Each structure stands twice: as structure tokens, then as C-alpha cells.
Structure 1
Amino acid sequence: MARLRTLLFSIFFYTASVLLVVIAMPIGLVSRRGVIAAATIWCRIHRWCVRWLLGVRIRIEGELHDGQAMYALRHESFFEAIDLPIFLPTPPIIFAKMELLRIPLWGWLAARYGIVGVERGKGASALRTMRRAALAAKESGRDFAIFPEGTRVRDNEAPEMKAGLYGIYRMVELPLVPVAVDSGRLYQQSPKRAGTITYRIGKAIEPGLPRNVLEAEVHAAINALNPAFEGQVSGDQIDGR
């Protein structure tokens, strides 16, 4: 059954993805809002496929921040990356590795949507470019999102935070909300498995903390669902968004 569910998911979701890219390309030439709307539709299709084809329910514990914020999420699979625009209150500006923006067609649409590329190891000039893009995006009122581990991690691992987390935290000067997610044990498997994926939203961290304190707080909060860590449960919402 798991193999059949995964096959149906792959056929339906990736066919819909290709069609949406084709439709969104001409829209992107004239309207950023149109690209954001197309991306939101894509994410809702993905959520539908996850729920009804894979048999995965979504649980949300805790409350999202009231007002513009930066969200730092644990990254165990592509699930949370695709789900962000419908999980967060606004379609977020996402900090992601620059390689994603070099994917033909999709990368151009991603840039139009609001993904800010992070050039690792490129020095001060790359940081200045990213800062200009981030500050311009902040004026839109949209939330920001980052995966502070820098790449996908296994569900029982807890790597240290990448240096870019603190740089971006200082750059945007917004409350930072850590979010744990345990998608890896279901979505990252082959075949994918049915079950429940949980988001656990931590307490907002105000701007201005020193680097060591910020990284320690974020590391603990985003690992709250990690089998190797213990976390606090606050609130409970099933299929709440």
C-alpha cells in the first residue's frame, strides 16, 4: 500500500508541478503577485496529495507569531520547504542556497516569488547583495523563513547551526520563531509512509541576542521533536491550516 500511495503521489503531484510551471512562466513576466498565487496553489495541491494520497495528517502545536517575523525551521525533507507558503501567515521570503535559483525555469520563478539566494563562501559582496534583497523584501510585510542547518538532516541528527543564521537574524531585525518538524520519518522514506507530521512552534526570540545565545535557543527549539531530544508541548491543532 505504501508503494502504491507513493506512486500515485508522484504521478499526480509532479504532473501538476510541471503544468503549473508552464502556466506560471508567462504570468511571471507581468505579475509577481501572480507568481505568488501560483506558488500558493502548488503548495495546496501538495498538501492535498500528502493528506489524501500519502495518508499523512498535519498536526500544529503552538501559535504562530502575531506580526511580521522570521521563522527558523528544522529541515528533514522537502515537505516543509514546499509547505511553507500555507503553513505561515504570509507567503514567506525564503533564504535558500543559490543552487536552487539556477534550476532552469523553476529558479527564475522562485526568484520572482521571493526566494533570496545565499552564496556560501562568497564573502562580503554576496552578503551585501543579500542584505539589499532582504531589506527590500521586508518592506512588503511578508514573513521570512530559513533552514538554519543549511541542508536536509536525518530525523535523529542535530547538527550545529550554520553561520548564516545569525547574520540574517541581525540583518532583518525581526522576532525569530523556531519551529520543529518531524517530516523525515514519513516523507523522506522510500516509499513514503502514512502517519502524522507535527510542527511544533517555539516561543519568539526577540532581536538583539548575542550569537551564542541565539544559536543555543534555536538549536534546542527546532530539535524539540528529535528522538534524541525532549521538548515541551504547547497547544494542539490537527489539520489546522
Structure 2
Amino acid sequence: MGYALQWIRSLLFSIQMYVMMFLMSLYFTPLAVLDRKWAYAGVRTYCRYVRWSAAWMIGLKSEIRGEVPQEEVLVAAKHQSFFDIIMLVSVLPKPKFIMKAILRYAPILGWYGMRIGCVPVNRGKRSEAIKSMMKAVKDGDAPAGQLIIYPQGTRVAWDGYLPYKIGINVLYRETGQTVVPVSANVGVFWPRRGVYRKPGLAVMEFLDPIEPGRSTEAFMQDLETRVEAESIALMRDAGFDPVSGIEAAKAAGKTRR
């Protein structure tokens, strides 16, 4: 009975979340056309609303820890579900993403993504994707801000594993910017797929920055070790232990999203 009630709450929450996206876009879009600052205000207001409504509708509270960067940096974040995007955008002053090129055509999300400076990239072979990514970053007219990168390349289940991709190192080296790692436990409450959302406390934590100048090997090892270790710690604090699932996937020579 408890599961069924929470599922219904989760469904109602999801429906109203998209209804509010449409309603807020009616107010903010005309203003955002005139001035980009209203695009930032719109996405930030919406994301804060989602966090607020999740707390009372489905019992999912959320918390940001660590120092939120205000300057132009690369943000290398753990990506487990749509909710971690919501949480990041709710606090970063000028967030932007490297996103799938097809998403630029998504209603509301696509237009706002382009307006705040997101970088669309066509997926393909890894080398081609990296070149396309760097060209888009260098040639784009996006304003300075916090470029959010998901080093694993996609959403990964809380007890799954995918290796970190070299694209984050290319950006780190070519832009000369500081990288701020971000850990999360969001996926244990809000999964990659499905309607059901668990109550609890979703946490994202900004970790100590990695300054420019590190070698590729040192940078990649430090980034993955810190983000994964801190994410595991957050998930354990929430009562979930992903280690057995991650180790099983690695031992079998497989990766799991």
C-alpha cells in the first residue's frame, strides 16, 4: 500500500513538474528573448520550484554542499538522473552544458538550453565527438559561466559503472580552466528511468577544485577517484551501498549504466 501511494504521488509530481515548465515558459520567454539574464532567471526559478515541490509532494528533500563556483570554470559532475541537473542549475549563476545536438529541437528545453549558452554536439566516433566538442566550445557565442560536463558521458545508475571519458581532459587542457568535481547520491532516490521516486535527502557536493596544469594521467585519476569515492560515501550515508554492484560489473569486464 505504501509503495502504491508513493508511486501515485510520484506520478502526480511528474505531471505537475512539466505543466509548471510550460506555464513558467509563458512568463519568462518573452523577457528572455530581449535579455539573456531572464533566461537564467527562468531556468533557475523553475529548478528551485522543482526542488521545493519534490520536498512536499514526494518527500524528496535536496541539499547542496561545498562552495558553489561563481567564476568561469568547468564543472565535472556525477550524473545519475534528471534531478542532478535540476539541482546544479538551481544554484550555479551561469550554468551551461555540452548537450546532444538533437536536444536543441526539444520544446522549451532546447530553446532555453541554447539561450543560456549550452553547446550542442553530434554524437559519433569518440575522436570526432571530441573535435566537434572543442570546436563548438571555441566557436560558440556563449557567455562566460560554468560549463557542466558529465565525465562518464551519460547517466549512470547509482550501483552501475562507466569509465571516465577523455573529453573532460581535452577541455581541461585546451581551455586552461579550473575543474570543480561534484559528487552525488541523487540516483538512489530519483532513478534514470521510471516514475517512482523515493523519499529521502538527495545531496550534491562541490569538492575542492583541480587547478590547471596537471598531467592527463594525474588529472583523470584524481577526478575519478574523488568523485566516485565521495559519491559512494553520500550513498552510504543515505542507506545504500553501491560497491558490490560496481565491483561485480568491473570483475565481469562489463560496464553498467
> Under TM normalisation by the shorter chain, which class is it?
0.7 to 0.9
CA contact (8 A) 2:172 2:179 kept: yes
**Corresponding residue for 1:115?**
118
- 1:104–1:130 Cα change, 3 Å: same
Q: Aligned-pair distance for 1:67? A: 4.0
Question: Take 2:15 and 2:101, find their aligned partners in 1: how far apart are those partners?
Answer: 28
Aligned pairs, how many? Answer: 224
CA drift at 1:110? 1.2
SS of the equivalent of 2:46 reads helix
Task: Tell me, in whole angstroms, the C-alpha distance in 2 between the residues paired with 1:162 and 1:95.
Answer: 14
Aligned to 2:165: 162
Q: Distance in 1 between matches of 2:57 and 2:187?
A: 17
Structure 1 contact 181–199 (Cα < 8 Å) conserved: yes
Does 64-73 or 109-118 show the bigger shift? 64-73
State the shift of 1:205 in Å: 0.4
Is 1:196 aligned to residue 201 of structure 2?
yes
Q: Which ranges in structure 1 are unaligned for 5 or more consecutive residues?
A: 230-241
Cα 1:125–1:216 change in 2 (3 A) is closer
1:85 to 58, 83, 89: 89
* Higher relative contact order (Cα pairs below 8 Å, separated by 6+ residues): 1
Cα distance in 2, alignment partners of residues 190 and 129 from structure 1:
34
Shift of 1:54: 1.7
Which residue matches 2:219? 214
Structure 2: distance between partners of 1:5 and 1:68 = 39
Select 1:225's aligned residue among 231, 238, 257. Answer: 231
Would the alpha carbon gap of residues 59 and 131 (structure 1) be closer, same or farther in structure 2, given more than 3 Å must change? same
Residue of structure 2 equivalent to 1:130: 137
The code of the aligned residue for 2:62 comes to: I
**In 2 relative to 1, CA 42–163 (structure 1 residues): closer, same or farther, beyond 3 Å?**
same
56 and 102 in structure 1: CA distance in 2 versus 1, 3 angstrom threshold: same
Q: Distance in 1 between matches of 2:71 and 2:207?
A: 15
Q: Is the 8 A contact 2:80 2:156 kept in 1?
A: yes
**Counterpart in the other structure of 1:99:** 102
Decide whether the 8 Å contact of 2:101 with 2:120 is kept in 1.
yes
- Name stretches of at least 5 consecutive residues in structure 2 with no aligned partner: 233-241, 245-257
Please tell me whether the aligned partners of residues 22 and 108 of structure 2 are also in contact (alpha carbons under 8 angstroms): no
1:27-77 Cα deviation digits (max 9, x unpaired): 333221121111111111111112121211223343334743221110000
Cα 1:92–1:222 shift into 2, 3 Å: same
SS in 2 for 1:158: coil
Q: What amino acid is the match of 1:127?
A: M
Q: Name 2:237's counterpart in structure 1.
A: none
SS in 2 for 1:187: coil
Quick one: structure 1 residues 210 and 118, their matched pair in 2 at CA, closer, same or farther if it must change by over 3 Å? farther
Q: What is the distance in 1 between the residues matched to 2:70 and 2:112? A: 29
* Compared CA separation, residues 215 and 199, structure 1 to 2 (3 A): same
What's the TM-score once normalised by structure 1's chain length? 0.83
Decide which of 54, 57, 66 is 2:58's aligned counterpart: 54
Name the structure 1 match of 2:253: none
User: For the residues of structure 1 that align with 2:73 and 2:133, how far apart are their CA atoms?
Assistant: 23
Give distance in 2, aligned partners of 1:55 and 1:19.
Answer: 24
Structural RMSD (CA): 2.3
> Kindly, what percent of the aligned residue pairs are identical?
28
CA contact (8 A) 1:118 1:130 kept: no
For 2:209 and 2:82, the matched residues in 1 are separated by: 24
Range that drifts further, 174-183 or 141-150:
141-150
